[in-house]
Amino acid sequence: MFKWFILHQWKSARRSSIWQKNLGLNIFIGFLMVILLMYIVVLGLFLDKILLEVVNDKDPEAVASGILIYYFLVVFVMRFFMQTIPAMQAIPYLHLPVKRSSLARYLTLSSVTNFFNWLPILIFLPFTLKWVAEFHGMASAMIWFSGILLFEWASNFKLIWLKRKSTGKPWLGLVLLALTSSLFLLDNYEIFSISSISEWFFMGLLAQPAYLILPIVALVFWYYYNIYFIKSIIYVEDLSPKEKSDHTFSDSFVKLKEFGTVGELVLKEVRLLFRNKRSRTVLFLIPMFLMYGLIFYPQEIYNTKTGWLVFVGMFITGGFLMAYGQYIMAWESAHFDFILSSKTSFHDFFRAKYYLMVIVSVVLYFFTIPYIYFGMEIFYLNIAALLYNIGVNALLLLYTASYNKKRMDLSKGAMMNYQGVGINNFIIVLPLLIVPMLIYAPVKFFFGYEIAVITLGSLGVLGMVFHKYFIHLAVKHFQEKRYGIAEGYRQ
């Protein structure tokens, strides 16, 4: 039976128009994946040397055992946002002589092929063979590694259950992110050390193989519980789309209508973002953008590198702007012909999108103010980055939006979904992040930090002062290409 499931899935993928039209994008993404795999393999090969450099007063296997809990937590959060639920059109099989248990087992086991499940082999297996086996013996080393792999697989099945259980509740990702961050901060300030528990368990694996029972039990439990849960929901009434309430969170912004046509258009954009699955997923990535600084700011090595500080500042103050702005036209692809024939001015249409990016970016900036804890330099640099984002990058996104001609289905999630994404989207992001670094670095080198920050911020202020002129250029460019964009959206 599994053979037929796999065959049907393969034919469905090959016959999809997305497969045929996005061949170039698939090749490009494959190239990026190969590069990523090379970096991961290098990390695994030199993990022992990295741990010796970072912590020289403890054995590398003890350090690795302590950080494994954070590896599992971080990967689990990444899985929640990036890993798609194993999907197969189950409804067509429900009236056929196909057992629900077979469908459930297939949907569960198909998740094993996910990249994250095999990541421990690339990272920890080389370290196990090179270092752990040398000091603890091959048998103990392989038991240690088996514990890591089994926990990761158990985590995979637990995630599949959680995502199915929390369908329509993307806010749960924020809870997971907040929990992981809280545990890290508690550990960092020596209030509660979860890494000590992790070190105790995995070092215990090296001395007592019986500890392996725990990951085995976790794996078996989540595997069979996942199958049981899937069997309980494979019914037409559970799989069919549910009716949604007319009232949404976006209705709280009705006062925007008081600002005329542009205000009404901004309100429509807000409703579009909150009412559609694809756009809501992007919204719930915002906390990840805001917390990006916690990866770099606490590390002294990055604070001495000017380029990194600018990069992080642009990212945390412009995360929404970039995630939303790349698809300014594509969000409207389902009803783009109506926009072309509407009496609404294109200038008002573009101004509404610009003001939405500016308003949200300014509001989100206030959540980055606590980064002042890491120094006033970072605080002032983030202000300059915000000004540059809303005065330069937002306007640049309006202009480049006319190059995106791929239709986007807003009813589907964004993670690992490349429908509506083209190579142009990857190219557009580069100048948004790299150009401010190229401006800031030489100015700081020749004139100092203060002049560099003022220069970066002043460019943003100039953009905001003359934003109507630049919006006019974007509209003119759009009018030249609007029929080609419409043709692309109809495909």
Cα(418)–Cα(20) distance, integer angstroms: 13
Q: Are 324 and 364 in contact (CB under 8 A)?
A: no
Range name among 20-29, 123-132, 137-146 with the lowest pLDDT average: 20-29
Highest mean pLDDT among 200-209, 269-278, 327-336: 200-209
In degrees, rounded to 5, the angle at the alpha carbon of residue 174 between the alpha carbons of residues 169 and 180 is 135
Place 269 in a pLDDT band, splitting at 50, 70 and 90.
Answer: confident
> With the C-alpha atoms ordered 233, 234, 235, 241, is the resulting torsion angle positive or negative?
positive
Nearest-CA neighbor of 306 among 177, 487, 110, 441?
A: 441
SS3 46: coil
Q: Which residues contact 10 (CB under 8 A, 6 or more apart)?
A: none
Res 218 pLDDT > 90: yes
Nearest-CA neighbor of 329 among 272, 284, 386?
A: 272
First to last CA, the chain: 35
Domain segments of the chain as ranges: 2-239, 256-490
Q: What is the mean pLDDT of residues 465-480?
A: 88
Higher pLDDT, 146 or 409: 146
Q: What is the mean pLDDT of residues 392-416?
A: 74
Percent of the chain with pLDDT over 70: 76
Cα(110)–Cα(245) distance, integer angstroms: 34
Nearest-CA neighbor of 28 among 308, 424, 361?
A: 424
Cα(278)–Cα(410) distance, integer angstroms: 5
Higher pLDDT, 293 or 445: 445
The per-residue pLDDT for 461 is 92
Q: What is the mean pLDDT of residues 193-198?
A: 89
Q: What is the mean pLDDT of residues 245-255?
A: 48
- Indicate the pTM of the whole model: 0.57
The per-residue pLDDT for 203 is 92
Percent of the chain with pLDDT over 90: 16
The per-residue pLDDT for 144 is 94
The per-residue pLDDT for 169 is 65
Let me know if 75 is exposed, middle or buried by CB neighbors in 10 A (0-12, 13-18, 19+): buried
Mean pLDDT, all residues of the chain:
78
Cα(109)–Cα(102) distance, integer angstroms: 10
Cα(295)–Cα(399) distance, integer angstroms: 32
Higher pLDDT, 175 or 351: 351
Q: What is the mean pLDDT of residues 188-209?
A: 88
Res 249 pLDDT > 50: no
Segment holding 271, helix H or strand E: helix 260-275
DSSP structure string for 169-214: -TTHHHHHHHHHHHHHHHHHTTSS-HHHHHHHHHHHHHH-GGGGHH
Q: What is the pLDDT of residues 8-39, one digit of tens each?
A: 565 655 555 555 555 555 665 667 677 778 88
The per-residue pLDDT for 412 is 60
The per-residue pLDDT for 242 is 47
Q: What is the mean pLDDT of residues 224-242?
A: 67
Cα(434)–Cα(461) distance, integer angstroms: 19
φ and ψ at residue 138, rounded to 5 degrees: -65, -40
Per the document, the length of the chain is 491
Cα(153)–Cα(116) distance, integer angstroms: 9
Q: What is the pLDDT of residues 98-109, one digit of tens each?
A: 677 777 787 788
Q: Are 313 and 321 in contact (CB under 8 A)?
A: no
